[in-house]
Structure 1
Amino acid sequence: MTPTDPIIQTITPITHDLGDFRVHRSLPAKERTMVGPFIFFDQAGPARIAPGQGVDVRPHPHINLATVTYMYEGSFLHRDSLGTEQLIDPGAVNLMTAGRGIVHSERSPNEERAKLSKLSAIQTWLALPDRDEEMDPAFEHVSEGGLPIIESRHARARVIMGSLWGETSPVTTYAKTIYADIQLSPGGTIPIDAEAEERAIYVSGGDAALDGMLLQPQTLYVLRPGTRATLMSVDGGRVMLCGGEAFQSPRHVWWNFVSSSTDRIMQAREDWDAMRFPLIPGDDQEFIPIPQGRPKTVSYP
C-alpha cells in the first residue's frame, strides 16, 4: 500500500461453522479491535434452514455496549429482560443498549420454522462512550420504512445510523457513528465521504471496487482517514459502510462483555455465573453458561 491508497488495513474474518450456517467475524481481531465505536462485526449466513429447524440464540448477557441487528433475509424474534418482544424483518434495525446490564435472546419465529427459510444478517456491537457505559438498558426498533434511502447512479443505500449523503437516520447514537447498507447494481457507483474519523467497508456479497481497487468478499477494509473514494461494482454487489469517532480509551472484550474496565468484565462474569442478571419474561427456562475455556470472542487488547 502507498500513502495515497484509500485502504490502510485489510482484515480477513474468522469463520465459525455453526452447523446450519456460518458466521464470518471481522471484529474484534488481533490486529485491530475497533473501527469508530464498532467493536464487533459479524456476517451470519447466507443460509437455508430446513422446515422444522430454526436458530435459537439462548438468553445471554451484555454490558457496556449496544447491539445492532440488521437482517438481509429471514427474521428473528428478539426478547430481552426489559420485557421487549420484537420481530425484526429485512431492512429494519434493532438497537439494544446494554448499559449496566441486559439479557436477551434471538430465535427464529414459529412461522419461519414451519417452512424452508433463509437467514442472512449483519450483527454488530458498538462500544459505549465512557459517560454512557453504565446507563440504564434500553431497546429501540426502527422499521424498514423508517430508515432513509439514497438512490443515485445505479446505487441504493440505506442509512442505518448517523448522517450520510445528506440524510440522517432516526436511530439513536451515543458516539458519533455512521452505518449504511449499500446495494450496487451492475455499473453502480457511490461516493464514500471522509467526514468520520474512522471508516471501514465490508463486502458481504457480489463484487465491488474502491477507486479501481478490487475488493474481496467477506473482508473488512479500513479506510485512510480524510480520504474520499468512489465505490463501484461491475456485476452488482452489497457493501456495508461503518465507522465513526475514534475512541480515546481502549475497550476490552471477553465473551459477550465489553468495557473500558477489566474489573467490570470480571464482575459481569461473576454476576452471570451467579445468575444475578435479570431474566427474560417468557424466555427464562434456559441460558448460555459462562464459557469454561477460551470463548469464541476473546479478550482484546
Structure 2
Amino acid sequence: MIEMVIEQRRRSLGGGLDVGRVLPFAKRRMVGPFVFFDHMGPLDLAPGIDRSLDVRPHPHIGLSTVTYLFSGEIMHRDSIGSQQAIRPQEVNWMTAGSGITHSERFEKGRATGDHLHGIQAWVALPLADEETDPSFSHHEGDDLPQWSDGGVHGQLIAGSAYGLTAAARTHSPLFYAHLDLEPGATAELPDGFSERALYVATGAIEFDGIRYDTGKMLVLGAGASRIRAAERATVMVLGGEPIGERFLYWNFVSSSKDRLAQAAADWRAGRMKLPDADDQEFIPLPEDPARPAPAAT
C-alpha cells in the first residue's frame, strides 16, 4: 500500500538555480532519518554562467548531506579542508555534526557548459551523534555496489539493501539506492525497515496498476514490495528507522530549538569558520539584512 504521495514543489535557491523540493512536507516531515530531499535540475548551464548561480559558503549542523548526480559536476569545498568535485554516480557525504560550512560551485559549467541533474538529501543524525565532529568522504566505484537484473540497473548509495552495503559511514539504520528501469521492468523494493519511500526522478512507474510520473515521492506502507516501469524510469528508493522529531531552521537540523537558535547566532556573529579555499563570500542568515555579504572576487 501507499501511505502518501508527495509532489515536488519548485523552490529557488537564487541566481537562477531552481530545485524540486520533496521533503520536508507539511504532512510528512521525514522518512526514516531522511529529513530533506531536493531534486536539482535538469538544468543546462551555458559556458560563462554568472557566479550568482553557485551555492556560496553556508553552514550546517546536526545532519549529513548526501549529494548524488545523474549528470553534471559540482565542486565542493568545506571548512575542514575538503575540496572534491562530484561527478555522475558518485557520492559526496558530508557530516556536519557540531558544525561545518561548505560551498557548491559549478566551475565546469562556467568553463565549458554542463547539464546538471541530481539529488541532494539530508540525513538527520541520531541524538547521540548530533554534535559529532564534522567529516567529509567521497565515494565512487566499488564503494557504491552495482547490479543488473531483468532490466533493472541499480547502484547502492548508502546503507544496506539488496544484500549489499555501501561504504559511506552512516549513523543509524538506513538505505538509499538509485534504480534505472527499462520499460516494463519490475523492481523489488527493500524491506526490513520501518519507513520507506521511492521518488520518480525521470519517466514513470506503476504501483498497483496506478501510474506515477516524474516528481512524485511515494511513501510506502507495509507490504509494498515491487514497482513496474511504465516507461524508462529513474527511481530513488530510500528509508530507514525513525530517530525522533527534528526541527529545521534554514540549513540547520536539531532535536533542540535552542540549538537551532545558537547555530543561527553563531553564523550571524561570524563564529563559524568559512572554507579556507572559499572564504571571500557567504550566504547571510535569512531575514538578516544587517550583515551584507562581502563582494565576490
> Shorter-chain TM-score: what band?
over 0.9
Tell which deviates more after alignment, 49-58 or 34-43: 49-58
1:41 aligns with 2:25: no
Q: Corresponding residue for 1:299?
A: none
Q: Separation in 2 of the partners of 1:120 and 1:193?
A: 25
Q: Which residue identity is paired with 2:184?
A: G
1:250 to 245, 249, 253: 245
Q: Separation in 2 of the partners of 1:105 and 1:123?
A: 14
> How far does residue 20 in structure 1 lie from its aligned partner after superposition?
4.0
1:214 aligns with 2:211: yes
Q: Separation in 1 of the partners of 2:131 and 2:18?
A: 33
1:121 to 118, 122, 139: 118
> How far does residue 21 in structure 1 lie from its aligned partner after superposition?
4.3
> How far does residue 178 in structure 1 lie from its aligned partner after superposition?
0.6
Q: Separation in 2 of the partners of 1:56 and 1:112?
A: 10
1:227 aligns with 2:223: yes
Contact 2:203-2:213 at 8 Å conserved across structures: no
Contact 1:148-1:159 at 8 Å conserved across structures: yes
Q: Which residue identity is paired with 1:64?
A: G
1:79 aligns with 2:56: no
Contact 1:156-1:183 at 8 Å conserved across structures: yes
Contact 1:35-1:198 at 8 Å conserved across structures: yes
Q: Separation in 1 of the partners of 2:267 and 2:75?
A: 23
Determine helix, strand or coil for the equivalent of 1:292: coil
Q: RMSD over aligned Cα, in angstroms?
A: 1.4
Contact 2:75-2:85 at 8 Å conserved across structures: yes
1:199 aligns with 2:215: no
| CA deviation profile, 1:121-146 (whole Å, cap 9, x unmatched) | 10000000000000000001101443
Segments of 5+ residues of structure 1 without an aligned counterpart are 1-5, 294-301
Determine helix, strand or coil for the equivalent of 1:131: helix
Q: Corresponding residue for 1:9?
A: 4
Q: Which residue identity is paired with 1:272?
A: W
Determine helix, strand or coil for the equivalent of 2:262: helix
- Taking structure 1 as the reference length, the TM-score comes to 0.91
- Taking structure 2 as the reference length, the TM-score comes to 0.93
1:288 aligns with 2:295: no
Contact 1:191-1:228 at 8 Å conserved across structures: no
Tell which deviates more after alignment, 150-159 or 47-56: 47-56
Determine helix, strand or coil for the equivalent of 1:162: strand
Segments of 5+ residues of structure 2 without an aligned counterpart are 289-297
Q: Separation in 1 of the partners of 2:35 and 2:120?
A: 11
Query: What does 1:1-301 align with in structure 2 at a 5 Å threshold?
Result: 6-17=1-12, 18=14, 20-53=16-49, 55-109=53-107, 111-224=108-221, 226-247=222-243, 249-292=244-287
- Identity score, percent: 44
Q: Separation in 1 of the partners of 2:258 and 2:270?
A: 18
Q: Separation in 2 of the partners of 1:89 and 1:29?
A: 28
> How far does residue 112 in structure 1 lie from its aligned partner after superposition?
3.0
| CA deviation profile, 1:180-200 (whole Å, cap 9, x unmatched) | 001001121111132111001
> How far does residue 179 in structure 1 lie from its aligned partner after superposition?
0.2
Q: Separation in 1 of the partners of 2:17 and 2:218?
A: 24
